[in-house]
């Protein structure tokens, strides 16, 4: 079991880390599966994430993970129940990745990945006085790997930095059909103002990357896990850019007026990160 999580509240980059890690494990010959709580869904039942599942049933992030990796993915209020159900349904799975399970102590883990962004540990205080979900340990816990979703390390713990950049854009309807975002499509949006909507914990990170790509934005920050029950953008908008996390909550038929564009994120793990993690995992499981 590999647990991915963070010590601070908000979007430190767990979901892109899980996606990139699962893809790297597949490339290394493993058959991984993913478990998650499924934040924001309507019930607490343990269930599989299917291609036709809705965010209300399974949560937006597990649905995006399933879409990007195509691996068996299960959600449950108790992650251990999700893990047991996944293993029973998919005996071929040889490694489980737990999304956002760091504080779920009932979940045994062989190794864990702690993700930080540029905030580090903020003021070092626990919620609600600060951003910490739990106290910052004095020493790095055993079998823990640190990853920074930032330009440079932001805590005293040593760890490499992931590389994140925009993969490009694709119209919403084409994205649902399996077409990948392209840099060329994103480039066509330069030269006129576009609305950029983001229902995530750190929307400014998305806006900054778009501006760095040369786009003129009207930013539209939305609450994390925004449901899109009604369109939040201005009626006169012609082009709206969305994250993939938001796109899973919009039906292809919504791509009429305005034109809805899905912007993909290319999140690359540092050289040697997965190899070191798998080496640690092998040493732990030999005991």
Q: Is the peptide bond before 128 cis (omega within 30 degrees of 0)?
A: yes
Kindly report the backbone phi and psi dihedral angles of residue 144, in degrees, each rounded to the nearest multiple of 5, phi listed first: -110, 135
The two structure tokens encoding residue 190: 């330069």
C-alpha to C-alpha distance for 228 and 144, rounded to whole angstroms: 37
Q: How many CA atoms lie within 13 A of 69 on its CB side?
A: 30
Give pLDDT, residue 287.
63
Mean local confidence (pLDDT), 111-135: 94
* pLDDT, tens only, 132-142: 999 999 999 99
Sheet holding 111-117, edge to edge: 47-48, 73-75, 32-36, 95-99, 2-5, 111-117, 144-149
* pLDDT, tens only, 55-102: 999 999 999 999 999 999 999 999 999 999 999 999 999 999 999 888
pLDDT-derived band at 116, boundaries 50, 70, 90: very high
Give pLDDT, residue 285.
83
pLDDT above 70 covers a percentage of the chain that reads 99
Q: 228's torsion region: left (phi>0), alpha (psi -120 to 50) or beta? A: left
Task: Name residues whose C-beta falls within 8 Å of residue 73's C-beta, 6 or more positions apart in sequence.
Answer: 33, 34, 35, 36, 48, 49, 62, 65, 66, 86
Tell me the pLDDT of the chain averaged across its residues.
93
Task: Name residues whose C-beta falls within 8 Å of residue 208's C-beta, 6 or more positions apart in sequence.
Answer: none
C-alpha to C-alpha distance for 34 and 19, rounded to whole angstroms: 9
DSSP-assigned beta bridge partners for residue 239: 259
**3-class SS of residue 166:** strand
**Residue at token pair 């790095």:** 140
* pLDDT, tens only, 264-275: 999 999 989 999
Give pLDDT, residue 11.
78
Task: Name residues whose C-beta falls within 8 Å of residue 133's C-beta, 6 or more positions apart in sequence.
Answer: 6, 7, 8, 9, 102, 103, 126, 127
Say how many C-beta atoms besides its own lie within 10 A of residue 282's C-beta.
Answer: 11
DSSP-assigned beta bridge partners for residue 75: 36, 47
Domains within the chain, CATH numbers bracketed: 2-162+269-286 (3.40.50.300), 166-266 (no CATH)
Extract long-range pairs of 212-216: CB within 8 Å, 24+ residues apart.
Answer: 213/166, 213/186, 214/190, 215/186, 215/189, 215/190, 215/241, 216/190, 216/191, 216/192
Beta strands in the chain, from DSSP E residues, in sequence order: 2-5, 32-36, 47-48, 73-75, 95-99, 111-117, 144-149, 163-171, 194-199, 217-222, 239-243, 259-268
For the chain, count helices (H), then strands (E): 9, 12
Mean local confidence (pLDDT), 146-154: 95
* pLDDT, tens only, 228-250: 888 899 989 999 999 999 999 99
C-alpha to C-alpha distance for 108 and 79, rounded to whole angstroms: 10
* pLDDT, tens only, 18-62: 999 999 999 999 999 999 998 888 888 999 999 889 999 999 999
């Amino acid at each position: 079991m590999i647990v991915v999580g963070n010590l601070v509240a908000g979007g430190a980059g767990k979901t892109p880390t899980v996606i990139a890690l699962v893809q790297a494990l597949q490339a290394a010959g493993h058959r991984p599966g993913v478990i998650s709580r499924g934040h924001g869904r309507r019930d607490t039942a343990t269930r599989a994430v299917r291609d036709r599942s809705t965010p209300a049933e399974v949560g937006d992030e597990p649905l995006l993970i399933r879409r990007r990796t195509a691996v068996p993915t299960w959600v449950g209020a108790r992650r251990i129940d999700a893990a047991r159900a996944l293993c029973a349904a998919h005996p071929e799975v040889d490694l489980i990745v737990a999304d956002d399970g760091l504080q779920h102590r009932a979940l045994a883990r062989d190794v864990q990945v702690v993700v930080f962004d540029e905030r580090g540990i903020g003021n070092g205080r626990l919620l609600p006085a600060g951003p910490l979900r739990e106290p910052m340990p004095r020493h790095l816990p055993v079998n823990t790997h640190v990853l920074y979703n930032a330009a440079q390390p932001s805590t005293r713990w040593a760890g490499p930095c992931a590389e994140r950049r925009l993969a490009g854009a694709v119209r919403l309807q084409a994205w649902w059909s399996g077409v990948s975002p392209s840099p060329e499509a994103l480039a066509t949006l330069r030269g006129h103002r576009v609305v950029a909507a983001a229902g995530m914990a750190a929307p400014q990170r998305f806006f900054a990357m778009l501006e760095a790509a040369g786009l003129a934005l009207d930013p539209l920050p939305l609450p994390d896990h925004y449901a899109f029950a009604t369109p939040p953008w201005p009626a006169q908008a012609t082009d709206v850019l969305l994250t993939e996390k938001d796109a899973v909550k919009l039906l292809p038929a919504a791509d009429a007026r305005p034109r809805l564009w899905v912007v993909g994120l290319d999140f690359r793990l540092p050289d040697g990160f997965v190899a070191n993690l798998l080496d640690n995992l092998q040493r732990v499981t030999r005991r």
